[in-house]
C-alpha cells in the first residue's frame, strides 16, 4: 500500500514523504491520522524529486570542493607567510620577523656547558 504522510511521525518520517509499506502498517498510520492513501504516480514523482535533490547537493559539494582546491593552489604559489610572520618566496626568505631574529641571536649567544666527570667513586 502506498501512503503519504500528512504530519511528522515520531520515528523520524517527515511530512510529505510518500512510501510503499505493508498493508497492516499503512492502515495503522492512516487510522492514527499520520498518513493518507496515495497513488503510484505520486510515489514516482516523489522519488524523482529526491533524485533531483541529491543531484543538486552533489553538485554543490563538488563546486565547494573545487573552490577549496583552487584556493589551496593559489595560496601555495608565490609568496606565503609562515606562522611566525616571515615571508618566503619560492624557498628564499624575503623578510624576517622579530621572533626569528631573537631566536638567531639566542642561538649565537648560547654557550655549551660541559660537565666535569667525577674522579672519586661514590659509596
> How many other C-beta atoms lie within 10 A of the C-beta of residue 34?
18
Q: At CB < 8 A and 24+ separation, what contacts does 51-58 make?
A: none
Tens digits of residue pLDDT in 40-88:
888 888 888 888 989 999 999 999 998 888 877 766 555 445 556 566 5
Q: Is the residue at 122 inside a domain?
A: no
- Expressed as residue numbers, the domain containing 99 is 79-105
Q: Which residue has the higher pLDDT, 120 or 30?
A: 30
pLDDT at position 14 over 70: yes
Alpha carbon 43 to its chain's center: 33
pTM of the entire predicted model? 0.43
Q: Is the residue at 14 inside a domain?
A: yes
Q: Is the residue at 45 inside a domain?
A: no
In the chain, how many domains are there? 2
Q: Is the residue at 44 inside a domain?
A: no
pLDDT of residue 6: 86
Edge-to-edge strands, sheet with 2-5: 18-20, 2-5, 35-37
Closest listed residue to residue 30, CA positions, set 62, 2, 59: 2
Are 122 and 110 in contact by the 8 Å Cβ rule? The answer is no
Query: 77-110 as b/e, with b when 16 or more CB fall inside 10 Å?
Result: eeeeeeeeebeeeeeeeeeeeeeeeeeeeeeeee
Q: Is the residue at 47 inside a domain?
A: no
Amino acid at each position: 500500500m502506498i501512503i503519504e504522510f500528512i504530519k511528522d511521525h515520531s520515528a523520524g518520517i517527515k511530512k510529505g514523504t510518500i512510501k510503499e509499506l505493508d498493508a497492516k502498517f499503512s492502515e495503522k498510520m492512516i487510522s492514527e491520522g499520520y498518513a493518507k492513501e496515495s497513488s503510484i504516480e505520486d510515489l514516482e514523482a516523489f522519488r524523482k524529486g529526491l533524485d533531483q535533490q541529491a543531484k543538486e547537493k552533489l553538485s554543490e559539494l563538488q563546486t565547494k570542493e573545487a573552490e577549496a582546491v583552487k584556493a589551496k593552489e593559489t595560496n601555495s604559489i608565490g609568496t606565503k607567510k609562515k606562522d611566525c610572520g616571515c615571508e618566503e618566496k619560492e624557498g628564499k626568505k624575503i623578510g624576517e620577523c622579530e621572533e626569528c631574529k631573537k631566536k638567531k641571536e639566542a642561538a649565537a649567544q648560547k654557550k655549551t656547558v660541559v660537565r666535569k666527570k667525577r674522579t672519586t667513586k661514590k659509596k
